[in-house]
């Protein structure tokens, strides 16, 4: 077996190649994370296949959380061409292996060779080949989860603002903040802001029912919440604006995945 270890960093990788006895077949070399850089390991693999036709070739790199993605995707793309095996390796397992290697030279900093040695005589679980479409799907799902979490925090903050500045709205928020509640707050952040508002103006808010609008105007004339500082109002309006943006962005992402016939759950 031929084992090729790649020690990936941001923008480049060190590459070490050894045979089944752990003997280096060439000096460790550096490749850049670009098209010209990929040509070098391509040529090395081609040369190895020509001189070791029956040998299994393993290529492995640590799962660094992103830096290895381009190298990994490129090598997956040439798997069929050279009949090689490509692995993303657990960094913690590799680290433990290196630390347990009593014969490793103290001045040896060639992690690429360490990674290559790690793969020798080990049963490695093959990584599923993930298409670019699936990679994009995973990114979308992460973005949606992030947006949902952030929107939840904003909703909680808005609830506390409603309790303080617009308590009469709470009875309409038992099942969460409705769309019309958010739009209402973005226009009129406190109950006292409704005192001089006409019913027709409120009814322009989508999904707001007439009887609720009439009740809110009536309550605004009786409220004891009269003076609210302008900055607090701006904060409420900004929270509403951000929440609407996050909700719309999440809907757009979900709709796009649906159009591509990709289901989240």
Please return the burial class of 53, using the count of CB atoms within 10 Å of its CB with bins 0-12, 13-18 and 19+.
exposed
Structure tokens at 223: 């409220």
Task: Domain 2-129: give its CATH architecture.
Answer: 2-Layer Sandwich (3.30)
Average pLDDT of 176-195?
Answer: 93
pLDDT at 263: 47
The residue that leads in pLDDT, 66 or 62, is 62
**Every domain range in the chain assigned CATH 3.30.420:** 2-129
> What class, spelled out in words, does domain 134-259 have in CATH?
mainly alpha
Tell me how far apart the alpha carbons of residues 206 and 198 are, in angstroms, rounded to a whole number: 16
Residue 84 has pLDDT above 70, yes or no: yes
Q: Quickly tell me which residue has 């050894």 as its tokens.
A: 18
Is 9 in contact with 68 (CB distance < 8 Å)? no
Specify the pTM: 0.56
pLDDT tens digit string along 242-259?
Answer: 999 999 999 998 888 777
**Every domain range in the chain assigned CATH 1.10.287.4070:** 134-259
Tell me how far apart the alpha carbons of residues 87 and 40 are, in angstroms, rounded to a whole number: 19
pLDDT at 153: 96
Tell me how far apart the alpha carbons of residues 182 and 237 are, in angstroms, rounded to a whole number: 9
Q: How far is CA 164 from CA 154, 190, 221, 237, in A?
A: 15, 9, 17, 15
Residue 26 has pLDDT above 90, yes or no: no
Mean pLDDT score across all residues of the chain = 86
Residue 134 has pLDDT above 70, yes or no: no
Which among 42-51, 85-94, 95-104, 240-249 has the top mean pLDDT? Answer: 240-249
Is 16 in contact with 112 (CB distance < 8 Å)? yes
Average pLDDT of 114-122?
Answer: 88
């Amino acid at each position: 077996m031929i084992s090729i270890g790649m020690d990936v960093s941001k923008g480049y990788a060190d590459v070490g190649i050894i045979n089944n006895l752990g003997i280096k077949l060439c000096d460790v070399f550096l490749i850049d994370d670009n098209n010209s850089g990929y040509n070098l390991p391509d040529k090395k693999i081609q040369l190895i296949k020509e001189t070791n036709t029956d040998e299994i070739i393993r290529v492995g790199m640590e799962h660094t959380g992103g830096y290895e993605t381009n190298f990994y995707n490129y090598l997956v793309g040439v798997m069929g061409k050279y009949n090689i095996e490509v692995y993303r390796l657990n960094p913690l397992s590799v680290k433990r292996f290196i630390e347990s290697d009593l014969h490793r030279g103290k001045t040896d900093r060639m992690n690429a060779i360490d990674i290559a040695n790690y793969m020798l005589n080990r049963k490695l679980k093959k990584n599923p080949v993930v298409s670019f479409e699936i990679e994009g799907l995973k990114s979308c799902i992460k973005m949606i989860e992030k947006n949902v979490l952030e929107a939840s925090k904003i909703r909680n903050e808005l609830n506390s603002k409603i309790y303080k500045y617009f308590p009469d709205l709470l009875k309409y928020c038992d099942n969460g903040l409705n769309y019309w509640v958010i739009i209402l707050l973005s226009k009129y952040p406190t109950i006292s802001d409704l005192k001089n508002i006409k019913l027709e103006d409120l009814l322009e808010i989508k999904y707001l029912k007439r009887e609720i609008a009439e009740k809110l105007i009536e309550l605004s004339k009786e409220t004891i919440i009269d003076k609210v500082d302008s900055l607090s109002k701006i904060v409420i309006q900004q929270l509403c604006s951000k929440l609407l943006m996050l909700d719309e962005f999440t809907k757009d992402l979900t709709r796009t995945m649906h159009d591509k016939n990709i289901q989240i759950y």
